[in-house]
């Protein structure tokens, strides 16, 4: 069942800088533990190895790129690893392209389910990466966004399923390659079974965390998890705006430290919800670093 990015909060703060160390290896490359200089250079892969290398904008932690739809555009799309499927289309884009509604689909934001319309795209193009002939969810996303953060659609995780996706936040560059990748035995790369839930430690507590570039927060913790990792006070916060509705949330500072692979961060403001089902690692926790995702080997890496 399609899912969409989970948290969109009115009250926002940025994370302090993270000290990140991760190992990223191309298939067949030498595997030296701690060889971050060698492994992280893959984020700036040679142009010959990159099917796509395009600039992106970052607004409130989210990534925005320019794409062509059915040969027209460009249109502004968000890159959202928390959204399943190939893509989403805003109602404004469907109207502009005069696309007919093809059917309905069920979608979940992790808390609530909803039934939404679908439409068909003949092509969706980001640089040299083109997908053809597929149905997408369509709904009104734009009216719930500020003018500067509005978009015409979403590139979801399966759009990048057959290669290595590199989101280089410091350089504001998205790269995609089928020639490079994270080896299944790459040192310090994080394995996952369900996209993109990776091991996270909060102090001595071990959990799974969902890496979601579409969520403009640092971390969201279920209340039950918060009670295991902190005794600090909870303060009132604006409700979290989910795709299918809103959810009550508090805010707090958690000492942690949070550890994700080589990432370690302490004393970070988080959101806490009774209804949210899992730990969420949002865009603000990633936006000063480089995120690499290889769905072929089901591995994720992070570099400074």
CA distance 192 to 201: 15
> What is the mean predicted confidence (pLDDT) over 180-189?
83
User: Which of 213, 212, 191, 194 is CA-nearest to residue 261?
Assistant: 191
Query: What is the pTM for the complete model shown?
Result: 0.85
The string of DSSP letters for 212-256 reads: -TT--SSEEEEHHHHHHH--PPPEE-PPEEETTEEE--EEEEE--
Cα dihedral 189, 62, 208, 296, rounded to 10, equals -40
CA distance 289 to 21: 10
For residue 74, cis peptide bond before it (omega within 30 degrees of 0):
yes
Domain ranges for the chain: 47-177
> What is the mean predicted confidence (pLDDT) over 42-68?
91
- 276 close to 247: Cβ distance less than 8 angstroms: yes
Average pLDDT, the chain: 84
Task: Check whether 7 has a pLDDT greater than 90.
Answer: no
Longest dimension (CA), the chain: 54
- 260 close to 21: Cβ distance less than 8 angstroms: no
CA distance 94 to 92: 5
- 119 close to 234: Cβ distance less than 8 angstroms: no
pLDDT band at 71 (very low <50, low <70, confident <90, very high): very high
pLDDT band at 88 (very low <50, low <70, confident <90, very high): very high
The domain covering 47-177 belongs, at the CATH homologous superfamily level, to: Acid Proteases (2.40.70.10)
């Amino acid at each position: 069942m399609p899912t969409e990015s989970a948290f969109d909060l009115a009250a926002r703060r940025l994370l302090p800088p993270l000290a990140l160390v991760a190992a990223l290896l191309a298939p067949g490359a030498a595997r030296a533990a701690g060889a971050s200089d060698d492994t992280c250079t893959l984020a700036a892969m040679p142009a010959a190895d990159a099917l796509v290398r395009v600039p992106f904008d970052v607004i409130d932690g989210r990534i925005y790129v320019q794409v062509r739809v059915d040969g027209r555009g460009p249109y502004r799309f968000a890159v959202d690893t928390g959204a399943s499927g190939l893509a989403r289309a805003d109602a404004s884009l469907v109207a502009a392209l005069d696309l007919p509604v093809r059917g309905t689909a069920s979608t979940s934001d992790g808390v609530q389910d909803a039934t939404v319309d679908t439409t068909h795209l003949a092509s969706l193009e980001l640089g040299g990466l083109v997908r053809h002939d597929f149905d997408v969810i369509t709904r009104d996303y734009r009216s719930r966004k500020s003018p500067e953060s509005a978009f015409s659609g979403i590139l979801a995780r399966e759009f990048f399923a057959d290669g290595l996706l590199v989101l280089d936040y410091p350089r504001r560059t998205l790269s995609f390659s089928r020639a490079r990748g994270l080896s299944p035995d790459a040192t310090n790369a994080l394995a996952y079974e369900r996209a993109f839930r990776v091991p996270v430690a909060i102090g001595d507590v071990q959990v799974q965390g969902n890496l979601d570039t579409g969520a403009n927060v640092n971390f969201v913790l279920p209340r039950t998890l918060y009670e295991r990792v902190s005794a600090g006070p909870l303060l009132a916060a604006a409700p979290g705006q989910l795709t299918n509705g809103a959810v009550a949330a508090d805010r707090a500072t958690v000492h942690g430290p949070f550890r994700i692979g080589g990432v370690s961060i302490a004393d970070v403001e988080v959101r806490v919800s009774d209804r949210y089902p899992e730990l969420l690692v949002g865009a603000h926790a990633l936006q000063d670093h480089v995120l690499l995702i290889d769905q072929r080997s089901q591995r994720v890496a992070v570099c400074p």
